[in-house]
Amino acid sequence: MQQNELERRFPHHRLRIHLPDGDERQVGRGGPVLDWHIHKRRGLRRLLNGSTSRLGESYVAGDWSTTPEQLPLLIGRLLSPRPRHVPRGWLHRLAEHLFPRPRTERILSWQDDSLQLSRYCLGEALYTHCAQFTEAGMSLEQAQRLARRRILEQLMLRPGQHLLVVDAGWGALPLYLAREADVRITATCRSRAQLQHNRAAARRQGLDGRLDFRCGRPQPCLNGYDRLLLGDLRDAVGQRGFRNCLVHLSTLLRPGGLALLTTTGIDQELLAGNRWLRRRLHGDGRGLRLSRLAADTESAGLTILGTRNLGPHYRQSLAHWRRRLHYHRDAITRSQGEKRVRGWEFELASLEAALADGGMHVWEMLVANGPAAEQPSSGEPGHSATGHAPGVPNRCWANDAPSIRNP
């Protein structure tokens, strides 16, 4: 990456490059200063030649660093997509269908890997889902409590109903729902450590008779589930594809049942430049347009009741998790190792940068299996009568226009 390319990517900042031999170079003439410390010349040579696709690998290897607060901004500027032509003709679509990208082995997220790490970053509640920040200065714990209450209201649970929670994490959400609503809950976990922890927590709280934690993919029940809660649709896709995954979810729900789904939409250009992020996205590994998700949802026989953009809330959640990871960095490094910690740092900062740059969105959808027997009221928290959060600009279903990116 030559100097003129760096200047194009940092038009409103001054990039101060600290070289291994102690010399400094500066790019840009105005704006806040970003410090980029290059520790190994091999990393400098690779990055200056334009290989930003290996930016994450070089960070984990210790080739470069910056301050924790500057890391998301630096990643966002270095990985800002270059103008390029993305073919979208019939031949390109046929090639994608005939020669799908090989699915890599699933990489456990930092939230699923260690109970100790999750306690450091998520707090004692161990709430792994997106928090809800409605006021300035809210703590992570306050935003987590608000998010749980909103999910409870959106699901409209009634006594005796059967709820399926896919990707329950460390059990905070199903435990809360079991306490607040008189329902039966089946919840799936990603790891054996989560399964053991969640079953023990249910026994301690006297909820083991209503809570059934399992490991692996969700299985259908006799009469279908009344409600379904899915933490990340992209993780559940596997090799099915989005439409086939939604069809499978519709077979789990009884007719008229409700599902609250969350998924991420990422611009294709961003994925092309961020190899690190692309490897950690499961499913088909491609960017997801909201218009495509809406079409797949309706073709699967599901009725869309409402949508909401969780991007601003997820960005603040990521920032809180990243700061707590840095605060407890020494203790986490002693137990997990330097490379793993640097990998988690880059993962959190990369997602935060993608949300800030407008290249990534987090969508929440409330859907019904077939014609909706129950409709959310116009005052339903998180969903307006038009299907969008009050006060949040309507980005519309056909979100296929190029994103407006921050300078």
Q: Which domain CATH number covers 335?
A: 3.40.50.150
Same domain for 139 and 255? yes
Q: Select, from the ranges 156-165, 245-254, 294-303, 337-346, the one with the highest average predicted confidence (pLDDT).
A: 156-165
- Here the tokens at position 39 are 């520790």
pLDDT category at 356 given cuts 50, 70, 90 is confident
| Residue 128 included in any domain | yes
- The answer to whether residue 142 scores a pLDDT higher than 70 is yes
Same domain, 203 and 304: yes
Residue 211: band (very low, low, confident or very high) from pLDDT cuts 50, 70, 90 = very high
Contact 67, 35 (CB under 8 A): yes
Contact 259, 229 (CB under 8 A): yes
Residue 375: pLDDT above 80? no
Domain span at residue 11 reads: 3-68
The per-residue pLDDT for 261 is 92
Mean pLDDT on 261-271: 73
Residue 192 confidence (pLDDT) above 80: yes
Mark which of 18, 45, 68 sits at the end of a domain.
Answer: 68
For the cut 90, the answer to whether the pLDDT of residue 158 exceeds it is yes
**Whether residues 188 and 56 fall in one domain:** no
**Residue at which a domain ends, from 68, 86, 118:** 68
Query: Across all residues in the chain, what is the average pLDDT?
Result: 78
Residues 383 and 324: beta-carbon distance below 8 Å: no
In a domain, 406, yes or no: no
pLDDT above 70 as % of the chain:
71
For residue 194, report the phi and psi dihedrals to the nearest 5 degrees.
-65, -40
Residues 61 and 126 placed together within one structural domain of the fold = no
370 vs 156, higher pLDDT = 156
- Same domain, yes or no, for 184 and 246? yes
Q: Compute the CA torsion angle 27, 28, 30, 35 (nearest 10 deg).
A: -30
The answer to whether position 358 is within a domain reads yes
Mean pLDDT of 346-364: 86
Q: How far is CA 85 from CA 97, 177, 211, 359, in A?
A: 20, 47, 51, 17
- The verdict on 60 and 114 lying in the same domain is no
| pLDDT value at residue 296 | 86
Residue 163 and residue 216 in one domain: yes
Residue 326 lies in a domain: yes
128 and 48 share a domain? Answer: no
Instruction: For residue 244, count CB atoms less than 10 angstroms from its CB and return exposed for 0-12, middle for 13-18, buried for 19 or more.
Output: middle
Do 275 and 177 share a structural domain?
yes
73 occurs within a structural domain: no
Same domain, 58 and 187: no
In a domain, 392, yes or no: no
Q: Among the listed ranges 38-42, 228-232, 390-394, which one has the minimum average pLDDT value?
A: 390-394
pLDDT of 66-102, one tens digit each? 999 999 988 888 876 544 444 444 444 444 444 444 4
Please report whether residue 13 resides in a domain: yes
Element (H, E) at 226: strand 225-230
**Is there a contact between 55 and 75 (Cβ–Cβ < 8 Å)?**
yes
Q: 374 lies in a domain?
A: no
The count of structural domains within the chain is 2
Q: How far apart are CA 350 and CA 356, in angstroms?
A: 10
Mean pLDDT of 208-212: 92
Please tell me whether residues 189 and 57 are part of one structural domain.
Answer: no
Task: Identify whether residues 128 and 12 lie together within a single domain.
Answer: no
